[in-house]
Amino acid sequence: MTIRTITIPVKDLDAAKALYTTLLGVQPYVDQPYYVGFRPEGAPEVGLDPNGHAQGLTGPVTYWHVEDAAAAVAELVAAGGSEQQAVRDVGAGNLTATVRDADGNIIGLFQAAA
């Protein structure tokens, strides 16, 4: 597993986009009303999610890229985590899920489309 994406819940997408464009020094590679993504060289993708707070996100979520999201959720739940967001398609066959650890921290899982 590797960390490839950090998603940040935002309330004002336009303001966040301006700030993170300046911070990261790159223009977004995707700029949609539901997600703005940046790919700064040598760093994980940074995504802005205007719906994150409504989904229970209270801060940035690190997404671990895995081969099988459902299997990873099951393994983490068996190890003491609790499922927060079930595996779901976020477009083009890409799957995400989130699990909370015993302290309430959110672990993101991402499975790329086959």
Closest listed residue to residue 35, CA positions, set 58, 22, 52 = 52
Give the percent of the chain with pLDDT over 70: 100
Report the alpha-carbon distance of residue 64 to residue 82 in Å, rounded.
16
| List of residues 6+ apart from 39 with CB closer than 8 A | 26, 29, 45
Would you state the pLDDT for residue 18?
97
- Domain boundaries along the sequence of the chain: 2-111
* Mean pLDDT, residues 46-62 taken together: 93
Q: What fold, for 2-111? A: 2,3-Dihydroxybiphenyl 1,2-Dioxygenase; domain 1 (3.10.180)
Would you state the pLDDT for residue 114?
87
* pLDDT of 93 above 80: yes
